[in-house]
Amino acid sequence: MSTEEDVVDVVVVGGGGAGLAAAVSAAEQGASVLLFESQKELGGSTQLSAGLFTAAGTSVQRGLGVEDSAEKFFQHYMDLNQWLLEPGLVKAFCDNAGPTLEWLIELGVEVPAVVSASAHEPGLCRAGVEDVWRGHVPKDQGYGLVQTLDAARKRHGVEAVLNSRVQRLLVEAGQVRGVVVDDIEVRAHAVVVASGGFAQNPALLEQLYPTVLEAGDDLFVVAAEGSQGDHLAFGEQVDAAVVGHDWGLLMPTVYFQRLHHWQSGFPPRSRVHVNPQGRRFMDEDASYAVSGGLIDLQGGPCHVVFDEKARLGLPAGYAHWDAEHVLAEAEAGRTLRADTLEELAGLMGVPADALVATVERWNTQLPQGEDPDFLRHVSLAAKGSSEPPAPIADGPFYAARILPAELVCTHAGLQIDGSAAVVDRVGDTVPGLFAAGEAGAGILGARYVGGGNAVANALTMGRIAGLGAARAAATRTTPTV
Ligand SMILES: Cc1cc2nc3c(=O)[nH]c(=O)nc-3n(C[C@H](O)[C@H](O)[C@H](O)COP(=O)(O)OP(=O)(O)OC[C@H]3O[C@@H](n4cnc5c(N)ncnc54)[C@H](O)[C@@H]3O)c2cc1C
């Protein structure tokens, strides 16, 4: 038996980007908020991220003279995802991503109005394959976002309880009335599920993202430890609809990379990606908005081909793309190596004449300044790299298998509407239940629109969920006359 004083307005499950944004926005509405985090510190995957945030019509874009709007963002988002997503929900996201970025800036996040060449340089960068740049890189990356939101949480006096994994929802007569954590019932007028994705849960991956299993032993997960998929069990309790089956971000990597690319390192600029026909098939610097899909469609193993000069030119200090590491892989026979391209083709199982022609053609193109076939010079320019790469000419030659194998985030979760309310199997919203981030699904689609898609989704929909939960709580506490 509980009294009204025991009931908190809003309980937030998870203290990553979505949860912190929800907690702060609910508190801004005057709601009492309690946040539970299963790990020993806040942050989740958001804290590990580069913090890149996709948004349109922002002050940062305006500062650089970039004309953009939520409408253009929406059109690009839906087209890239082949209109497989619910337009109303995506519109709510696109409309609110810009204002959420401004909100973060007001809270203290710094995104300077300067051109950025990468996710590690604060400013505006090219996020994916968009017509105008929409990638906002904050100072101090994901860590900076979490610190700023956490400082706002503290200013509002919101308690964050660490090391406390919410076990289940409290549901009474179809209404969500709180949560159970450490076997204790915590009553609330509204609950926001912001528990992240399920990248660290092999059984759920098999069930809801089976494509990742195709990477076999090469699969590695960079998402935070707490990504256990608890949202799905919460959803079952209220018959929530689950959307986003088999969608997520599986980034292309060479088989020997086992860490996120900023630690693993970067392949040599002087390289071509070759398909089973021995042909080039993509811009090697294409955004992961499209690169994973391109590799998947080749119908067999694809390789990164480079030469000895490129290997020796790799910068030191990275764990895997390092001259010695590549040599060790070649000595072990895992990276293919041969004195001639013809021999290399034999090892790769591709037609020798095609591989030789591919390399010869490329040598006459990008190293001379332009890549008329795949426009890679455009991608390189966006990364601030104007120097043409050297030809691939000095044996021995190398081929390392490339495939989508780095699991960053998962997209299957509880269906939400534009106010981040959870939708059940028949299409009704579940009273008192909101979800956001990887837990709240329908915005992150089959195609990741580019760096910043997931953080923008988490913080934008987290902010909206906090607002919705605070309003729902206010409705529930207002006495009827
Ligand atoms: C290395 C890396 C780099 C990335 N870079 C970018 C980027 O630059 N831009 C971008 O858009 N995306 C990026 N992503 C993806 C993006 O960071 C995430 O998709 C997004 O931040 C997820 O936010 P979230 O709040 O949903 O989940 P999280 O930030 O993971 O937060 C969920 C929290 O809930 C906690 N939790 C889980 N279950 C429970 C429970 N039962 N009870 C209580 N707490 C629970 C977890 O421990 C976690 O702290 C990156 C991801 C990684 C791993």
pLDDT in tens, 183-206: 999 999 999 999 999 999 999 999
What atom in ligand 1 is closest to the CA of residue 47? 29
Rounded to the nearest angstrom, the distance between the alpha carbon of 363 and the centre of ligand 1 is: 42
Nearest to 231 by CA among 205, 183, 192: 192
Question: Residue whose CA is closest, atom 19 of ligand 1?
Answer: 454
Rounded to the nearest angstrom, the distance between the alpha carbon of 171 and the centre of ligand 1 is: 26
Measured CA to CA, the distance from residue 18 to residue 452 in angstroms comes to 14
Question: Residue whose CA is closest, atom 46 of ligand 1?
Answer: 226
Reported confidence tier of residue 5, pLDDT bands at 50, 70, 90: low
Question: Residue whose CA is closest, atom 27 of ligand 1?
Answer: 196
Q: CB under 8 Å to 311, separation ≥6 — which residues?
A: 268, 323, 326, 327, 398
* pLDDT recorded at residue 202: 97
Reported confidence tier of residue 478, pLDDT bands at 50, 70, 90: low
Domains in the chain: ranges and CATH: 4-246+411-477 (3.50.50.60), 253-406 (3.90.700.10)
Question: Residue whose CA is closest, atom 37 of ligand 1?
Answer: 195
Sequence-ordered strand ranges (E) for 197-284: 220-221, 242-243, 248-254, 272-274
Q: Which of 118, 455, 459 to probe ligand 1 with, by most ligand atoms within 8 A of CB?
A: 455
pLDDT tens for 416-444 read 999 999 999 999 999 999 999 999 999 99
Task: Say which residue the tokens 């509002």 belong to.
Answer: 156
User: For residue 481, is pLDDT > 60?
Assistant: no
Helix, strand, coil shares of the chain, percent, nearest 5, are 35, 20, 40
Contact between residue 374 and residue 276 where contact means Cβ atoms under 8 Å apart:
no
Nearest to 122 by CA among 111, 133, 132, 134: 111
Q: Which of 24, 49, 104 to probe ligand 1 with, by most ligand atoms within 8 A of CB?
A: 49
State which H helix or E strand residue 181 sits in. Answer: strand 175-181
Rounded to the nearest angstrom, the distance between the alpha carbon of 18 and the centre of ligand 1 is: 8
Q: Which amino acid type is present at position 207?
A: Q
Rounded to the nearest angstrom, the distance between the alpha carbon of 216 and the centre of ligand 1 is: 24
The runs of H, that is alpha helices, within 108-201 are: 141-155
State which H helix or E strand residue 304 sits in. Answer: strand 302-307
Measured CA to CA, the distance from residue 471 to residue 193 in angstroms comes to 16
Sequence-ordered strand ranges (E) for 19-109: 33-36, 53-54
* pLDDT recorded at residue 476: 83
Reported confidence tier of residue 344, pLDDT bands at 50, 70, 90: very high
Question: Residue whose CA is closest, atom 21 of ligand 1?
Answer: 46
pLDDT tens for 253-279 read 999 999 988 899 999 999 999 999 999
Residue 10 corresponds to which tokens in the numbers above? Answer: 């809003």
Mean pLDDT of the chain: 96
Measured CA to CA, the distance from residue 466 to residue 100 in angstroms comes to 12
Measured CA to CA, the distance from residue 68 to residue 62 in angstroms comes to 8
**Beta strands 413-415 and 440-441, pairing class:** parallel
Ligand 1 pocket, Cβ-based, cut-off 6 angstroms = 13-19, 36-39, 44-46, 48-52, 119, 165-166, 194-196, 222-224, 226-228, 230, 260, 408-409, 437-439, 451-456, 458
What atom in ligand 1 is closest to the CA of residue 36? 43
Mean pLDDT computed over 122-132: 94
Contact between residue 134 and residue 450 where contact means Cβ atoms under 8 Å apart:
yes
Measured CA to CA, the distance from residue 431 to residue 424 in angstroms comes to 10
Contact between residue 195 and residue 230 where contact means Cβ atoms under 8 Å apart:
yes
CB crowding 82-111: b at 16 or more within 10 Å, else e: eeebbeebbbbbbbbbbebbbbbbeeebeb
Task: DSSP letter for 278, please.
Answer: S
What atom in ligand 1 is closest to the CA of residue 260? 1
Cis peptide before 396 (omega within 30 of 0): yes
Beta bridge pairs of residue 168: 180
Rounded to the nearest angstrom, the distance between the alpha carbon of 385 and the centre of ligand 1 is: 31
Q: Which amino acid type is present at position 103?
A: W
Reported confidence tier of residue 138, pLDDT bands at 50, 70, 90: very high
What length is written for the chain? 481
Rounded to the nearest angstrom, the distance between the alpha carbon of 358 and the centre of ligand 1 is: 40
Give the whole-number percent of the chain exceeding pLDDT 70: 98
Question: Residue whose CA is closest, atom 39 of ligand 1?
Answer: 195
Task: DSSP letter for 123, please.
Answer: E
pLDDT tens for 212-238 read 999 999 999 999 999 999 999 999 999
What atom in ligand 1 is closest to the CA of residue 451? 9
Rounded to the nearest angstrom, the distance between the alpha carbon of 16 and the centre of ligand 1 is: 6
User: For residue 4, is pLDDT > 90?
Assistant: no
* pLDDT recorded at residue 137: 97
Measured CA to CA, the distance from residue 327 to residue 437 in angstroms comes to 41
Rounded to the nearest angstrom, the distance between the alpha carbon of 123 and the centre of ligand 1 is: 22
> Other CB atoms closer than 10 Å to residue 380's CB: what's the count?
20
Mean pLDDT computed over 447-468: 96
